Amino acid sequence: MNPDKQTFTLDGKTIPFCNGQTIIQAAMDAGEYIPHLCFNPEFKPHGSCKLCTVKADGRTTASCTQFAQDGMVVESNTKEINDERRVLLQMLFVEGNHFCPSCEKSGNCQLQATAYELNMMSPHFDQFFPDRPLDASHPEYFLDLNRCILCSLCVRASRDVDGKNVFALSGRGIKSHVIVNAQSGQLGDTDFAGDDKAAQVCPVGVILKKRVGFSVPIGKRSFDEQPISATPHPVVKEA
């Protein structure tokens, strides 16, 4: 069988794929959007956010880790699945401090844009209000870990692309959090740089460049101009 001729269906649409592709990779190549936060095609899947969960031949699975199979029937855009995604988003919003109107990332935030896409109208659950100190020790960037959603994209980018291991995950369960790999725990005491991949992958407002805040006005940012589903993998318009 020619691997280029293999297909599966996604919400009734025929999606071609090559051997070794996951469901979400094939869907993105075909221009179809599956909600996701921790997935990035440049890195090995992590499977932490679970927003990309679909039903494949009736079985619930993460589309970022499930390999596509010829003839597979995949459901993604259904009420049942989107209701579950909405609950996951609500939990992410209350576990961190996400005050969109005052956030520099508003309009470029994938968490915010995904909430809009899935019609999340309120956080529903009680807020955790974490208190994580800001880190402004670096001359070019600062960290606001109060907004972290534990997607691990910065960890994977720094380790797998930059070869620096600036970031790591620490703790377990509700105590999980991102740390900076320096004796001081400060970003300024690492070799983190603006051209690092890790400086570009945060889907929320944790890693921000200094002295450029709001240079792109709200209303003219990536997800102000088009919904996150308009492109299979969001391209954020940075300053």
**What is the spatial distance between Cα 223 and Cα 66, in angstroms, rounded to a whole number?**
28
Give the C-alpha separation, 45 to 77, whole Å.
Answer: 21
CB of 218 within 8 A of CB of 101? Answer: no
**Binning pLDDT at 50, 70 and 90, where does residue 2 land?**
low
Asked, for residue 127, whether it belongs to a domain, the answer is yes
Pick from 77, 101, 136: which residue ends a domain? Answer: 77
Same domain, 10 and 54: yes
Question: 121 in a domain, yes or no?
Answer: yes
If you search the block for the tokens 């690092």, which residue do you land on? Answer: 196
Query: What is the rounded distance in angstroms from the CA atom of residue 27 to the CA atom of residue 25?
Result: 5
pLDDT of res. 1: 47
- Domain span including residue 173: 92-213
In a domain, 222, yes or no: no
On the question of pLDDT at 4 being above 90, the answer is no
Q: How many domains does the chain have?
A: 2
Q: For the domain that residue 107 is a member of, what is the CATH number? A: 3.30.70.20
Do residues 199 and 119 both lie within one domain? yes
Say yes or no: 69 and 163 in one domain: no
Rg from Cα positions in the chain: 18
E strands along the chain, which residues?
7-10, 13-16, 53-56, 59-62, 73-75, 141-143, 167-170, 177-180, 207-209
Q: Are residues 125 and 60 in the same domain?
A: no
* Structural tokens at position 133: 């100190």
Same domain flag for 72 and 96: no
Q: Give domain status of residue 200, yes or no.
A: yes
Residues 205 and 172 both lie in one domain: yes
Residues 127 and 67 in one domain: no
Residues 34, 66: one domain? yes
Q: Are 36 and 99 in contact (CB under 8 A)?
A: no
Does 141 map to a domain?
Answer: yes
Residue 96: pLDDT band (50, 70, 90) is very high
Task: Specify whether 202 is located in the same domain as 174.
Answer: yes
> Are 112 and 170 contained in the same domain?
yes
Domain boundary among 53, 77, 101: 77
Q: Are 206 and 148 spatial neighbours (Cβ–Cβ below 8 Å)? A: yes
Residue 77 scores a pLDDT above 90:
yes
Each residue of 205-228: b (16+ CB within 10 Å) or e? bbbbbeeeeeebeeeebbbbeeeb
Q: Which residue has the higher pLDDT, 31 or 173?
A: 31
Tell whether 160 is covered by a domain.
Answer: yes
Q: pLDDT band at 213, cuts 50/70/90?
A: confident
* CA trace torsion 208, 228, 127, 85 (10° rounding): -140
Phi, psi of 22 (to 5 degrees): -85, 170
Q: How is 48-109 classified by DSSP, letter by letter?
A: -S-TTEEEETTEEEETTTSBP-TT-EEE-SSHHHHHHHHHHHHHHHHHTT--GGG-TTTTT-
Domain final residue, candidates 23, 53, 77: 77
Q: What does the alpha-carbon distance between residue 234 and residue 239 come to, in Å, rounded to a whole number?
A: 16
Task: Indicate if 67 and 101 belong to the same structural domain.
Answer: no
Residues 70 and 97 in one domain: no
Is the confidence at residue 190, as pLDDT, over 80? yes
Q: Can you give the pTM of this predicted structure?
A: 0.93
β-pair type (73-75, 53-56): antiparallel
Average pLDDT of the chain to the nearest whole number: 93
pLDDT tens across 143-164, in order? 999 999 999 999 999 999 999 9
Q: What is the pLDDT of residue 232?
A: 62
221 occurs within a structural domain: no
CA 38 to chain centre: 4
**104-143, pLDDT tens digit by residue?**
999 999 999 999 999 999 999 999 999 898 999 999 999 9
28 domain-assigned: yes
| 45 vs 12 pLDDT, higher one | 12
